[in-house]
Amino acid sequence: QKEVEQDPGPLSVPEGAIVSLNCTYSNSAFQYFMWYRQYSRKGPELLMYTYSSGNKEDGRFTAQVDKSSKYISLFIRDSQPSDSATYLCAMEGGSEKLVFGKGTKLTVNP
């Protein structure tokens, strides 16, 4: 079983839709959870960083962590074509290194 599982998609939604991206993990030592966005031919950029169960909101983005279920989500409200990118979840804990999901490719159609 991989430490971090992420559905690769691809996911295609119309502009304005609510997008839900998810990751599951198996390592109970993970304490810090991140979401990165990666545009084509660019490096990943950090979107959200959280370390506790519950929700964290930043503009149109909400990160949700459920440690009891080992499940994290990223919600994007009012999605825009500029949100089209690959979204990577990442986790840290125990080994002092980030472990990434494989990424979900999102396309938002105008």
* Dihedral sign of CA atoms 45, 51, 54, 55 in order: negative
Q: What is the contact mask toward another protein in residues 36 to 55, using x (rule: CB under 8 A)?
A: x----xxxxxx--x------
Alpha-carbon distance of 56 to 37, in angstroms, equals: 17
Q: Are 91 and 34 in contact (CB under 8 A)?
A: yes
Give the residue with the Cβ less far from another protein, 51 or 71: 51
Alpha-carbon distance of 23 to 43, in angstroms, equals: 20
| 56 lines the binding site for another protein (CB under 8 A) | no
CB of 10 to another protein, least distance (A): 12
Contact set with another protein (CB under 8 A): 32, 34, 36, 41-46, 49, 88, 92, 95-103
